[in-house]
Amino acid sequence: MPKIELKNVYKIFGEDPNSVLPLVQKGATKEEILEDTYHTVGLDNVSLSIEEGETFVCMGLSGSGKSTLIRHINRLIDPTEGEVLVDGVNVLEFNEKELLELRRHEMSMVFQRFGLFPHKTVMENVAYGLEVQGKPMEDRSHIAGEQIKAVGLNGFEHQYPSQLSGGMQQRVGLARALATNPGILLMDEAFSALDPLIRNDMQDQLLELQSKLHKTIVFITHDLDESLKLGDHIGILNGGKLVQVGKPEEIIMNPAHDYVAAFVKDVNRAKVLRAKTIMLSPEKYTSNGKGSGETHKVLENSFIEEFLPLVLEKRSVVEVIDKDGNTMGFITEKELAQSLSKT
């Protein structure tokens, strides 16, 4: 069962969205709807599944529907039509109390503009969700202290947000979201307001935390490099429509739409493609009458840029192994060249 599932979700903003819905369902574009009815199409028949423990990145240009989508998951926005399921349960059927419990215990959200309380210290900000849950002071302090340490802010517990840099404030926001131990973490353009170097550090920090915590993360961004770095799967929105969902390497190698192809045309494939994506199976490799010979071994999830110099300068074959050292396949110089040259 998917952790999160959207089924045929439409969202139309305006005075009478239900009257406009049939036009959208018949194929009218976002631009046509706006011109003819003065309504705005936020989401147009969006369906997707997000598995437990994965990082799902939703990306697109401004106005594509990214933030609208993420706000449906915790019902900050209700759809015009469709279903939103968490652990197989339709959250649109929740009453006010059930919805409050879902937000308090199952989900946390990290915002682009931090959303910190300026009159509260770092410790008080991080512990706020625990306070809402009714946790005792001793438990709140202990848990908040652990999360502050996890995001690298130990020593700043008694500082106020105005005394912190933008990157440090975002770390506080991330620690606050994690403190309640939610199963789902919603991150809406969480790093977009940060300087490039700080943003890269925050991405690395999130990857490190996720490797330990295995949360279900929905991450919204308009930055392709960020989506390729963070996402287990990527969904690309255009005009409210979900035009492609896939793993980063699938998006790069097989764009399903001209819009996607335009997005990825200038991407350095060596930073995205993994060894296991382009390797030949041992059976296929040996069936060509080739033995493994002397090879350099790389892990199956290694990115091409890590071993490209070895192939080009020293060897014509790279052996791909899993974490236990078992042979998964082989990469030849020919296969590597073909993969990097695809458009």
CA gap 245, 233 in Å, rounded: 7
73, 86 in Cβ contact below 8 A? Answer: yes
| 184's tokens | 């789902």
Torsion of CA 119, 121, 126, 130, to 10 degrees: -70
Q: DSSP code of 102?
A: I
CA gap 66, 70 in Å, rounded: 7
The single residue listed with the structure tokens 């200038």 is: 266
Q: Model-level pTM?
A: 0.82
pLDDT of amino acid 291: 58
Query: Which distant-in-sequence residues (6+ apart) come within 8 Å of 134 by Cβ?
Result: none
**pLDDT per position as a tens digit, 232-277:** 999 999 999 999 999 988 898 889 889 898 888 887 777 777 777 7
Residue type, 46: V
Does residue 307 have a pLDDT over 70? Answer: no
116 in helix, strand or coil? coil
Determine how β-strand 40-50 pairs with β-strand 55-59. Answer: unpaired
> Worst-scoring range by mean pLDDT, 62-66, 234-238, 300-304?
300-304
Torsion of CA 322, 328, 331, 335, to 10 degrees: -120
Q: 321 has which bridge partners?
A: 299, 327
For residue 87, give Cα distances in angstroms to 47, 102, 284, 332. Answer: 16, 11, 40, 43
| 257's tokens | 């739409």
CA-based torsion, 155, 161, 164, 165: positive or negative: positive
pLDDT of amino acid 286: 73
pLDDT of amino acid 302: 76
- From its phi and psi, is residue 48 left (phi > 0), alpha (psi between -120 and 50) or beta? beta
Q: Smallest Cα–Cα separation from 308: which of 260, 270, 251, 278? A: 270
38, 65 in Cβ contact below 8 A? Answer: no
Share of the chain above pLDDT 90, in %: 46
CA gap 78, 83 in Å, rounded: 10
**pLDDT per position as a tens digit, 80-112:** 999 999 999 999 999 999 999 998 889 988 877
**Mean of all residue pLDDT scores within the chain:** 87
**pLDDT per position as a tens digit, 198-215:** 888 888 888 888 888 899
For residue 164, give Cα distances in angstroms to 160, 192, 271. Answer: 7, 17, 33
Looking only at Cα atoms, what is the longest distance across the chain? Answer: 71
**pLDDT per position as a tens digit, 132-182:** 888 899 999 999 999 898 888 889 999 999 999 888 888 898 889 888 888
Task: Domains for the chain: give ranges and CATH numbers.
Answer: 4-268 (3.40.50.300), 275-341 (3.10.580.10)
Residue type, 186: L
pLDDT of amino acid 343: 46
**pLDDT per position as a tens digit, 273-290:** 777 777 888 877 776 656
Residue type, 210: Q
Share of the chain above pLDDT 70, in %: 92
Does residue 298 have a pLDDT over 90? Answer: no
Mean pLDDT of 41-64: 94
